[in-house]
Structure 1
């Protein structure tokens, strides 16, 4: 078992297994993110502690199921706009596109299980992209049992430094896979969780069209009305969709996106060849002092400090 503590959010994001994604932090309170890894062969278990809210966009691996367990009772977790609470279990199938959000700091457990264990119950080819999130509620006995097994694995690995190399790890992995198979089999027989609300367009389509515009314009500034036009809906419907998927409105999302984009540019820029104001102006920012205040609230340092920092 290995536990890593990060003060750099991007480094933490890179350590999350089973997904190819981009993460944005929001409302940091502790500025510390940690993750514990337990390798049980073709099953991986992770325990994460985040000192901030976050928004995640990406897709799961093509060869594994991702089983996500919220741990913070006071936090609202959402996968593709679907609320997931403590004691619930979110199931993401292989090759699934997803959007995830929380609005406060939070903890989670996650198991990444090889899809080979579920080969006889696959609904469709793992080569096809999908956006299905299934939620096994905490009142499902097998879901509760699976959460208990994951917690026991974490506890056993913490008390036995060489746990991963012992025979017990194989038995623990087998127990996890056995119960996970029951949960997945049960959920595949159910209808996928419907999207909330009754927008003329499905919420998922509104978000997809909005994201397509953001990808097209890349670093260019985008306004809410442009997103609404691209999505073919009113600004009110756009706000509801963003609130449902990301826990924040489109204005806050766009501000957060620009802050993270500029943060990445500053981290990669040569301080001898670039200035902060030039980089900000290139990305549509002209109120430099106000931007620096927002930037420091999110990242804990001024843009100039990020630019001057020595990166490995």
Structure 2
């Protein structure tokens, strides 16, 4: 049975549209800047987990008193002027932690864009379990501000926007495994940004590379053809992401993300070879395996297998849909 996917994108014509700035909550909003407010607001909901991305062209005052036990983790994507949350002066790519039942207070002095992830506090351990400093739910019960490495932050911000675009183009429910992959992909953008702001963890163990790889491959074998996110491996094996990178680079000469991408490409190749043209599409299979940029996916696929994915599916050359991606 599929997992319900909610995707809602709209244009804003007035500050009232920002009352739902974060999916599932109400935000009190007052316009500070002069002029007619224009903007956009998109929500992605995967079960009880959600991501909201919004933008607006004038200064705003926002206030929210949490009435539930949800955790909100927000990222400032762009800002043309000062942005203050609580006592924090924020710059683009900074991350803000808004714990359950804590009042949120923000001032945007000009046009801005943001992303906000909303989830159950109980999910923190399962999503960030491979990173001890993020896996403890108690560490998320305090409001906090993280100033990320700018390069890491820009990559994460761009990735969040692309994920929303891709999920918005998907018609129908997600499989349970695909929903879990996409949820982890969103959470990773926030997590990697927070980790880049923290000092190196000098207490991390460094188990042997080949022992780690053997455990990873056993885990992947049990997973079969479903997409596996790197954070899932870190949680299941209790291995920090840095140790995973070291092990994969030592044994395979590539990082774990590249290795997992190759594995997903192989899974797609096998699915397409066994499918009958007309019963599925390349875009559907790629989506279920966690690829959110179909043009880049087609490039990866052809570079690896020497043919377009539609050719593997058996679509006549004149009808290759890949050329339209």
TM-score by length of 2: 0.47
TM-score by length of 1: 0.49
